[in-house]
Amino acid sequence: MNGYWKKKGVKAWRASTGLFLVSAALSMCEEVHLYGFWPWHLDRLGNNLTQHYYDNHPVHKAHKLPDEFKQHQRLHNQGVLHMTTDNCA
């Protein structure tokens, strides 16, 4: 899986667990909806965000979350998955 994503532009030592789970979901599900994948420490309004739902540890250097986000955006734009980065309505 790491090799596949490296060829697609994720320049990380290894893909994140989130990218592995998205990959698994794409291989098993007819529709995949992503919510909450945002690789920056601030939201669009400047509010602080954590990288995990369970803690506030800094991003591990092994991951390149902005590269992964670009892949999520690409797949969203191609209609492969549906990504929501705004607040839920």
Q: Show me where the domains of the chain are located.
A: 2-84
Q: What is the mean pLDDT of each run of 10 residues along the chain (89 residues)?
A: 78 79 92 84 77 63 76 92 80
Per annotation, catalytic residue among 63, 72, 76, 82: 63
60 catalytic? Reply is no
Give the per-residue pLDDT at 80. 93
Number of CB atoms found within 10 A of residue 34's CB: 17
Per-residue confidence (pLDDT) for residue 32, from 0 to 100: 94
C-alpha–C-alpha distance, residues 60 and 41, integer Å: 13
Q: Where are the alpha helices (DSSP H) in 29-79?
A: 65-77
